[in-house]
């Protein structure tokens, strides 16, 4: 019997990821249809629909403009659709976001369009990247010494017990950024000295920039680690010896193609290959005559939270004076903090500590990426992520902390009291984040609520209570639910089915992990 289970271990792993894909697919936000530029401006697709926030609209607008209008600048209807995050280059309306995501979702858009599901198809590309990330979390954890079953639990935690879940079923850049980070780490852990592996890491590092500009900083520790494979400094008793592997310098050429694409896009869109979209003049609204109006909207975060904005440049929004408030918002605040939205992921800190104790250079790199991620967005002028569900900027850290969590579960898998506490927070985190995934990410930061209440005339919630309110009053934004299940079960039951299924899986896997205390069962896992 043992041999049979061991023989089928790959089957059970595949079954786990099929389960993950099913949960993601039924949670995917969307609506049927192939909306044109006029339809996209209706509330059905914007505020009340799947393209509810400007980061989603801005990226979708660029993709739509490239595919349907054959232009990198926006027609007037698409420009209105993209506001309030709209750029102005000369007399042209353009995207304020890095272009990578808009191009990546084109295959999903085109395939979905054939089935009258263009928006669903576009969003599904991000869902696939989320699934790939779960696979990589598990693979990296195993390569660093985690038990396979512990690594599987960690993959489930990352995917369904953190805000990564909500951004796996909507149109944001985070999961693609995480994929580039994780794949780079996996390559460096499995094939650290291979020429092709190092070349691919440099390619991924360069490709990360047109996905999201801050990725340059997030992948900086990985770049330093990779550079150490080319240039090394050794100390002898009398001197330092610098050695250079000249052949591997050629791996840097892999960066040319992504950088060339990035420069070409900037030149084609803005007339300057070195112009970053985020440094363009912003258009908050467009008047009846089609002219840009740079007037803050009532819900505009900048207008509410900042009295003197820094000069608009590539790094001007990062300031050390923001650190205290940034750490508070990202870690412990009610409206965004890790402790409120995904307390279970903090168990990963113990695992990262255990990894660093082993003096693994790769583990140190992993910790450095987490540190860079938190520090970068603590200095960011908008640590809230605009209107968002949880601390979306920390999704890369959730993935790396999940790897640490796998190590923690492996090392302390027989501490049953610890496992009980872990399961409590895991179930709580799954409930919260499944709620966010199937409802809305349109949660204002606490700092905006008082002003918002003056406008709306009623109490405005700003934690995941807002998502519960949405579920009980409006329903779900899940495409599958609204298309096939709406008349069969209530939104609350739909949420319960998802959260109980995922929590039940995590509890079962954790129980199996504990059973390895029996030496006879050790071989099973």
Kindly state the tokens that stand for 195. 């020429």
Displacement of CA 496 from its chain's centroid (Å): 24
pLDDT value at position 237?
A: 67
Whether residue 396 contacts residue 373, with contact meaning beta carbons closer than 8 Å, is answered with yes
**Distance set, CA 524 to CA 8, 12, 17, 423, 519 (Å):** 10, 12, 19, 22, 10
Inter-residue contact 254 to 208 (CB < 8 Å): no
Write down the residue that tokens 């309306």 correspond to.
Answer: 93
- Are 82 and 58 a contacting pair, CB within 8 Å? yes
420 burial via Cβ count (<10 Å: 0-12, 13-18, 19+): exposed
Rounded to 5°, angle at Cα 382 from 379 and 387: 150
DSSP SS3 for 86? strand
The tokens of 318 are what?
A: 């990062």
Residues found in the chain: 525
SS (H, E, C) 164-205: CCHHHCCCCCHHHHHHHHHHHHHHHHHCCCCHHHHHHHHHHH
Cβ burial, residue 467 (10 Å; 0-12/13-18/19+): buried
| 525 residues of the chain, pLDDT tens digit each | 444 444 457 889 999 999 999 999 999 999 999 999 999 999 999 989 999 999 999 999 999 999 999 999 999 999 999 998 899 998 899 999 999 999 999 999 999 999 999 999 999 999 999 999 999 999 999 999 999 999 999 999 999 999 999 999 999 999 999 999 999 999 999 998 899 999 999 999 999 999 999 999 999 999 998 998 888 777 666 777 778 888 889 999 999 999 999 999 999 999 899 988 878 888 888 887 778 876 444 444 444 444 444 444 555 566 788 899 999 999 999 999 999 999 999 999 999 999 998 877 888 999 999 999 999 999 988 899 999 999 999 999 999 999 999 999 999 999 999 999 999 999 999 999 999 999 999 999 999 988 888 888 888 999 999 999 999 999 999 999 999 999 999 999 999 999 999 999 999 999 999 987 655 555 544
- In which residue are the tokens 């819900």 written? 299
Judged by DSSP in three states, 23 sits in helix
Query: What is d(CA 62, CA 120) in angstroms, rounded to the nearest whole number?
Result: 16
Domain limits, the chain: 33-116+277-309
Predicted TM-score (pTM) of the model is 0.92
Buried b (16+ CB within 10 A) or exposed e, 94-107: bbbbbbbbbbbbbe
d(C-alpha 422, C-alpha 405), whole Å: 10
């Amino acid at each position: 019997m043992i041999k049979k289970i061991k023989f089928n271990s790959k089957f059970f792993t595949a079954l786990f990821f099929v389960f993950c894909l099913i949960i993601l697919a039924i949670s995917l936000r969307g609506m049927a249809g192939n909306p044109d530029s006029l339809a996209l401006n209706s509330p059905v697709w914007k505020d009340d629909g799947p393209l509810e926030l400007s980061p989603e609209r801005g990226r979708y607008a660029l993709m739509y403009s490239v595919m349907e209008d054959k232009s990198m600048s926006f027609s007037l209807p698409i420009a209105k659709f993209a506001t309030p995050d709209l750029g102005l280059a000369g007399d042209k309306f353009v995207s304020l976001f890095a272009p990578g995501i808009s191009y990546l979702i084109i295959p999903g858009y085109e395939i979905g369009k054939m089935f009258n599901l263009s928006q669903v198809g576009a969003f599904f590309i991000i869902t696939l990247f989320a699934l790939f990330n779960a696979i990589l979390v598990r693979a990296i954890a195993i390569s660093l010494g985690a038990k396979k079953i512990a690594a599987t639990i960690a993959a489930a935690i990352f995917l369904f017990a953190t805000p990564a879940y909500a951004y796996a079923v909507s149109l944001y850049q985070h999961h693609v950024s995480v994929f580039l980070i994780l794949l780079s780490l996996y390559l460096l852990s499995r094939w650290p000295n291979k020429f092709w592996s190092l070349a691919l890491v440099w390619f991924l590092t360069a490709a990360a920039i047109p996905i999201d500009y801050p990725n340059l900083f997030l992948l900086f520790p990985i770049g330093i680690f990779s550079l150490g494979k080319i240039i090394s400094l050794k100390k002898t008793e009398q001197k330092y010896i610098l050695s250079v592997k000249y052949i591997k310098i050629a791996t840097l050429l892999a960066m040319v193609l992504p950088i060339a694409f990035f420069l070409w896009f900037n030149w084609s869109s803005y007339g300057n290959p070195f112009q970053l979209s985020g440094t363009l003049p912003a258009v908050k609204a467009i008047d009846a005559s089609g002219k840009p109006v740079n007037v803050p909207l009532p819900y505009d975060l900048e207008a509410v939270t900042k009295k003197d904005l820094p000069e608009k440049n590539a790094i001007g929004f990062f300031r050390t004076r923001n650190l205290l408030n940034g750490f508070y918002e990202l870690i412990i605040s009610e409206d965004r903090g890790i402790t409120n939205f995904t307390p279970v992921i903090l168990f990963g800190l113990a695992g990262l500590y255990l990894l660093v104790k082993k003096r693994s250079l790769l583990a140190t790199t992993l910790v450095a990426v987490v540190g860079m991620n938190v520090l970068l967005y603590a200095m960011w002028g908008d640590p809230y992520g605009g209107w968002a569900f949880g601390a979306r900027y920390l999704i890369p850290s959730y993935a790396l902390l999940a790897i640490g969590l796998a190590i923690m579960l492996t090392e302390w898998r027989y501490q049953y009291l610890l496992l009980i506490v872990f399961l409590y927070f895991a179930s709580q985190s799954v409930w919260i984040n499944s709620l966010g995934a199937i409802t809305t990410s349109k949660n204002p930061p606490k700092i905006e609520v008082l002003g918002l209440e003056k406008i709306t005339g009623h109490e405005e919630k700003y934690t995941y209570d807002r998502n519960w309110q949405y579920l009980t009053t409006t329903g779900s934004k899940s495409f599958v639910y609204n298309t096939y299940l709406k008349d069969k079960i209530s939104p609350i039951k739909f949420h319960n089915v998802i959260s109980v299924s995922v929590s039940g899986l995590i509890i079962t896997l954790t129980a199996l992990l504990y059973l390895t205390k029996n030496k006879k069962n050790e071989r099973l896992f």
